[in-house]
Amino acid sequence: MKKRITIFLTLVLVIIFTNNSYATFTTGKGKHTFKVDNFNADTRISLQSFLIGLGISENSSINFKLTMADGEDSDGSDPNMNFLVPSYDGYSDETEYNLSGPILDISYQYIPRHDLFVTPNSLNAVQIGLKTYEGEVFDQAGTNTVDLNKTYLTFGLLSRSRWEKRNLFSNIEIAYDPREKGGWVLDSQVGMEFKIIDNFRAHLSYRAIGSSIESKQGFAFGIKVDY
């Protein structure tokens, strides 16, 4: 995983400094976007993300996002992340899934040139991508029963207003693997973005992530810069 992340970051940096890209749904008024985000899944778990958005054309972009889990269970062990996996062999109320590395998302966004997607007051985009992460399943005794690595195809719909100083936004994404029983993970949020100064913006939202096993809800906040 570390080797793949190093290669990934190297490629992203090469693209950033060589690509003469356009402003799009993700990148706002700049050619590129950097965004940090923190989602408080519950009182003991938070997901911290770093996103890089690169405009490809006036209505399409590609996004790279790394997400790390932070927190611990009441006994001091790594947090139970069952809400991120739809199912796994041997699952019960006494087993738990722990991440062993970051979550990697690579997605492509597209704004169709249609009145349903582009209006004077709003922009709407569709998204497709891949989500991958590595982890381990532990039983109640703390024994590692299986290494569980996941890769999902993701589909999303995003919407935001087109105001100057603040914007309402919402998005919904489903990650799916047809080979699994109940093989879906749903990630959705709704919130507001505020202009801080120039090309810096902050956002506050309510987010929910859930699978057929478990779900988590809470507030998320973040900052992004377009340039």
pLDDT tens-digit map of 99-147: 988 899 999 999 888 888 888 888 899 999 999 988 998 888 788 888 8
Buried/exposed 19-42: b ≥16 CB within 10 Å, e otherwise: eebbbbbbbbebbbbebebebbbe
CA distance 166 to 171: 17
Give residue-wise pLDDT tens across range 4-55. 555 566 566 555 554 554 545 554 555 778 899 999 988 889 999 999 888 8
pTM: 0.84
* Banded pLDDT at 190 (limits 50, 70, 90): very high
Please name the residue that has the structure tokens 């972009």: 61
Is the pLDDT reported for residue 174 higher than 70? yes
CA distance 9 to 25: 22
Domains and CATH numbers, the chain: 2-226 (2.40.160.20)
Please give the share of the chain, as a percent, with pLDDT higher than 70: 85
pLDDT value of position 23: 46
